[in-house]
Amino acid sequence: MTKRLLLIGLAISLIISWGIFSCRGPAEKYDLVIKQGLVLDGSGNPWFRADLGLKGQKIVAIKDRLEPQAASRIIEAEGLVIAPGFIDIHTHADRDLLDIPGCENYISQGVTTLVGGNCGGHDFPLAELFRQIEKKGIACNFASLAGHNTIRRQVMGMKMEKPTAEEMNRMKELLRQEMAAGAIGLSTGLAYLPGTYSSTEELVELAAVLSQTGGFYASHIRNQGQRITEAIEEAIAVGEKNGIPVEISHIKLAAEEVWNQLERITVPVEAARARGVEVTLDQYPYTATSSGFTSSLPQEVFEGGRDKFLERLKDPEIYNRVKQAVIRSRLTSRRGIDKLETIYVASSRKFPGYEGKNLKQILELQGKAVNVDNGAELIIDLVREGDVSAIFFQMDEKDVEALMRLPYVMIGSDGGLQLAGQGSPHPRSYGTFPRVLGEYVRERKIITLEEAVRKMTSFPAQTMRLKNRGMIREGYYADLTIFNPAEVRDTATFAQPHQHSRGIIYVLVNGQVVLEQGKFTGKRPGAIIYGPGYRKK
């Protein structure tokens, strides 16, 4: 009996001493320690001072102080903010990742995750794009939505009518396929072709796939001007009828008639949220939009595809009707604004000389009279040539600020990957995130720094249901942005867009440094982030 007790006692003391020994064991080795930064953890809480210990792809320790000898490498972050890497829920990066794998214009903004497949268009089939990206290697993480326009075009081409039961089944099948390939949800672009041809019923039925696979519904809504409330309600209906989250893309009051009428957005959104529909929005901090010109024309002229469109334009009656519609939708102002001065050609393969110039300047270049008739004809000429993107100054700064103050609006660039010097793109591709931090937080004090960082990190991560990203927590991926809060700012302008932002000092993706003292390291640690319906093949 005593012998037995003795044995048990021995065993217990062994266990205890083993425990103590292992606690006192050799100091844990970190791959990297970031010392004494102001940690803004993404939750919206005020910063706290701490050391972060990183090992492999993860943050493994957050302590007031970590032993310096425990680190292979140290980054001194005294006076700098350490935030989770920014997550851009709205980009058009997609296939360009294969040509621009360094993601420089996003890394330099502190962005570590890009979401593509927005506004109804994605690279089809996704499995193939993901395979090529993984083979190539990219600097930032990438996730993609599956686009309704892409899927509809696959099944129905440019048909204007509603899908037959057979076509509907085929579209659902393709969406299921893309969700299984790893899409994070469904996007629509209802101002673009062929999305403009679809009905709410079609969208509700297609999105029903997501109630089985998971994922959210992101929508470039049908109208961002006078019918914006209806358009928001349509997006809400798609989510509400299927019990899925709704993200309204690049929210804006994009017509003079609705400027400063924020209630057109807040009333339907807040009513839906009160009913328990998860509705969120994203915005970029500029008063200009960027897209092609096709949405300025009556949509039926595109029915059946490009050749038919070109054929129809030869009919003088149709041509004139198109022209009047362009004048109405793009070149008329009730506030006496000369619209010809507000529309710029961003890129055009056929007319590179027009890039960076507004319609008035282009008409002058052509030796034509500057008037709306010639302006409309110029727009039709540009659409005829295809492949033209433009910049439209069509928002009011007060609305941009008011939207930013809403807690359920996050930040997304709506930009794309850019090659230095190519075209005259919207500066949002280079400046969105630093512009919010510099201009809207520090200079104008529209929102706090904590709130801005939340809108760039934990909030999009929550909408996308990202696991272990978007916050600074032990066990989370070490996607981090270290910036100087007194200096961070955008430098890209509409006149000179190809300029990297300032004040972003270090950027880490999955534990690896991709930006160091403002310089790109060339590393490509980015991962594909697969959606909830992903089935590994």
Binding site residues, Zn ion, CB under 5 A:
119, 220
Nearer to Zn ion by Cβ, of 80 and 297: the residue is: 297
Question: Nearest approach, Cβ of 220 to Zn ion (angstroms)?
Answer: 3
Nearer to Zn ion by Cβ, of 119 and 288: the residue is: 119
DSSP class of residue 45 equals P
DSSP 400-433: HHHHHHSTTEEE---B----TTSS---THHHHHH
Tell me: cis bond preceding 194? Omega within 30 of 0 counts. Answer: yes
Question: Nearest approach, Cβ of 45 to Zn ion (angstroms)?
Answer: 32
Question: Nearest approach, Cβ of 250 to Zn ion (angstroms)?
Answer: 6
Phi, psi of 211 (to 5 degrees): -70, -15
Question: Nearest approach, Cβ of 438 to Zn ion (angstroms)?
Answer: 25
Question: Nearest approach, Cβ of 455 to Zn ion (angstroms)?
Answer: 19
| SS3 state of residue 127 | helix
Question: Nearest approach, Cβ of 120 to Zn ion (angstroms)?
Answer: 8
Q: Residue 441: name the closest of 490, 491, 492, 393 by CA.
A: 490
Burial class of residue 104 in the structure, from the number of CB atoms within 10 Å of its CB (0-12 exposed, 13-18 middle, 19+ buried)? buried
Nearer to Zn ion by Cβ, of 122 and 220: the residue is: 220
Residues 172/127, Cβ–Cβ less than 8 Å: no
Nearer to Zn ion by Cβ, of 220 and 330: the residue is: 220
Nearer to Zn ion by Cβ, of 291 and 491: the residue is: 291
Nearer to Zn ion by Cβ, of 38 and 119: the residue is: 119
Nearer to Zn ion by Cβ, of 219 and 458: the residue is: 219
Question: Nearest approach, Cβ of 221 to Zn ion (angstroms)?
Answer: 9
All residues at 6 or more sequence positions from 344 whose CB lies less than 8 Å from its CB, including other chains: 356, 357, 358, 359, 390, 391, 392, 424, 494
Per-residue CA distances from 151 to 175, 212, 248 (Å): 7, 18, 20
Strand bridging mode 504-509 / 512-516: antiparallel
Q: Residue 477: name the closest of 5, 54, 2, 14 by CA.
A: 54
Question: Nearest approach, Cβ of 192 to Zn ion (angstroms)?
Answer: 8
Amino acid, res. 329? S
Nearer to Zn ion by Cβ, of 282 and 490: the residue is: 282
